[in-house]
Amino acid sequence: MNYRLRDSSTKKKSRKVPLIILAAVVLALVATRVFAPAFSSRAIAAIFAPIMRSGDTLARDAAASGDALKSKSDLIAENAELKSELQAAQDELAVSRDLETENGELRDLLGLVRATKETPALVLSKPPLSPYDSLVIEIGSQYQVAAGDRVYADGDILLGEVAEADGPTAKVRLYSNAGTEIDAVIERTGVPQKVVGAGGGNFSIKAPKEVDVKAGDVLVVPSLGRKVLGVVKQVDSEPTDAFQQVLIKSPVNIFQLKWVTIESGDTP
């Protein structure tokens, strides 16, 4: 009895077709990201930004509906607590205004002019939504936000800089993005150090053992008006190693960011 030989070449060819299609699709998409990154980002952001905004609104509505179920005694206690917090904030604000006025007068005396504009922006997405350690904020090029503008939390905590602002939203590259380097100074000693991003609002420094650094030290960026970058959390060193590993954390929790401030224009 004769059996027909199996035609393996046709089978192999049919297996290769999806792989060829995949290669073509990937090449086309990568080429789009390389040669027209702004176009692709703008188009996708235009489609998805309204959905991201609606998600934020839904989350706030859900939180508000939870408040409606609170008991009366809880509300009274919360009201008293908020009143005391408000009083404390008003006191701090009064001191801050005095300092601001004094700062302005001193700047006038020295002839320094502040040529920056600060714009608050709502955070639409933050880590761990993306593996990139980036933020998406709800204002873009229509608010004169441009690539390179600095981004702060709570006024003076440096987070990163605007990477792309070509559409209705802007993307912020956090300085804690793994591998990103920034020059900072240990505020207590004035020793300059190269700080490297370690992801998730963390940084690290590999410094010689002779460098005086301890937990609680604040790192500032002198080129940006002594803005705070992070606080030293831990210093690790081996007896046999000439270097010490310094672990730094941003004072704000980037996973809970709601608002940031964009500083546009020249830094004084």
**What is the contact surface with other proteins in residues (CB under 8 A)?**
15, 18-19, 21-22, 25-26, 29-30, 32-34, 37, 40-41, 43-45, 48, 51-52, 55, 125, 128-134, 136, 163-164, 171-173, 177-180, 197
Q: Closer to other proteins by CB, 17 or 68: give it.
A: 17
Q: Closer to other proteins by CB, 34 or 109: give it.
A: 34
- Smallest distance from other proteins to CB 163, Å: 4
Q: Closer to other proteins by CB, 29 or 106: give it.
A: 29
Q: Closer to other proteins by CB, 31 or 88: give it.
A: 31
- Smallest distance from other proteins to CB 205, Å: 19
- Smallest distance from other proteins to CB 140, Å: 13
- Smallest distance from other proteins to CB 24, Å: 11
- Smallest distance from other proteins to CB 106, Å: 37
3-state secondary structure the chain: CCCCCCCHHHHHHHHHHHHHHHHHHHHHHHHHHHHCHHHHHHHHHHHHHHHHHHHHHHHHHHHHHHHCCCCHHHHHHHHHHHHHHHHHHHHHHHHHHHHHHHHHHHHHHHCCCCCEEEEEEEEEECCCCCCCCEEEECCCHHHCCCCCCEEEECCCEEEEEEEECCCCCEEEEECCCCCCEEEEEECCCCEEEEEEEEECCEEEEEEECCCCCCCCCEEEEHHHCCEEEEEEEEEEECCCCCEEEEEEECCCCHHHCCEEEEEEECCC
- Smallest distance from other proteins to CB 58, Å: 9
Q: Closer to other proteins by CB, 30 or 75: give it.
A: 30
Measured in degrees and rounded to the nearest 5, phi and psi for residue 179 equal: 95, -15
Q: Closer to other proteins by CB, 33 or 214: give it.
A: 33
